[in-house]
Amino acid sequence: MTTKNYYSIGEVLGLLLEEFPDVTISKIRFLESQGLIEPERTPSGYRKFSQAEVDRLRFILREQKENYLPLKVIRTRLDSDTSDGMVRPYDETSPGVRNPAAHPAARSVGVATAKRKGRPKKDDTTSMNRAELLAESKVDEVTLREIVKSGLVTPRMVGDLEMFSQLDREVIDACAAFIALGIDVRHLKAWKVSAEREMALFEQRIIPYLQQRNPGAREQALEMLDELVDLGERLRGSFIDVLSRPYSDGR
């Protein structure tokens, strides 16, 4: 019997749910954004997790669940390999190697746009540091600092560098435009909270499919997620159209 080399994020979720029933795809992505796990990417931009990365993720979740350790302490244990044997020592090719120069975020990688059910997948693998972001976008240093401090984006740390993905840049550009129109940065948190609640609702629908360990069921879950995201965008836009109509009818 051969062991599977890589797992999708949905398959990883299915492997972890029995031991960690509260884990979600958003949680896994958050741990990745903090640099605690580093799944590889397919040419289409999808995450793929090695068994070593799954073991690393399991260790992080156990430390949080059983020892209530903060991520900063867990990161130190992982980096110094003082994890009581729960995480294997890293070799040069391990996805868990903590070598800033080899970190995927330390280089810009062009990724082809993938499509599923006609919905384009946005590139979230090409990264830029703070200086590059400021040079390429319209945001200034003060505004960027406010946005990061408010938790609207969480850059990945690579050594002393803050690395931002293309999706981070989209959020930052949108936030900067709101701020330029007089919307205070603290009020922008409402959009993030709303998105997190929306995603939590979607996860309740797709997790039962992901738990089945059936490739067909997992594909159905991903297709359902695409449809839910599209419907959420349509419904949200329709509500805004209805609410703004009284101000635009007189034009």
Q: Which of 47, 46, 22 is nearest to 37 (CA)?
A: 47
Asked whether residue 23 is domain-assigned, the answer is: yes
DSSP β-bridge partners for residue 37: none
65 and 48 inside one domain: yes
Which of 56-70, 116-130, 167-181 holds the top average pLDDT? 167-181
CATH classification of the domain holding 81: 1.10.1660.10
Say which residue the tokens 């936030």 belong to.
Answer: 175
What mean pLDDT is predicted for residues 208-217?
83
Give tens-digit pLDDT for 155-169: 888 777 888 988 899
Range of the domain at 168: 116-183
What mean pLDDT is predicted for residues 104-124?
39
Do residues 63 and 57 lie in contact, with contact meaning Cβ atoms separated by under 8 Å? Answer: no
Structure token digits, residue 22: 């509260």
Name the strand (E) or helix (H) holding 144: helix 141-149
State yes or no: pLDDT of 177 exceeds 80. yes
192 and 179 inside one domain: no
59 and 21 inside one domain: yes
CA angle 107, 108, 114 (to 5 degrees): 135
Number of domains in the chain: 3
C-alpha dihedral, 215 to 32 to 183 to 193, nearest 10°: 50
Asked whether residue 200 is domain-assigned, the answer is: yes
22 and 77 inside one domain: yes
Please give the single-letter amino acid code of residue 93: T
C-alpha dihedral, 219 to 28 to 206 to 44, nearest 10°: -30
Listed residues 140, 155, 183: the one ending a domain:
183
Tell me what percent of the chain is helix, strand and coil, each rounded to the nearest 5.
55, 10, 35
The whole model's pTM is what? 0.53
175 and 208 inside one domain: no
Structure token digits, residue 217: 């069921």
Asked whether residue 131 is domain-assigned, the answer is: yes
Average pLDDT value for the chain: 78
28 and 80 inside one domain: yes
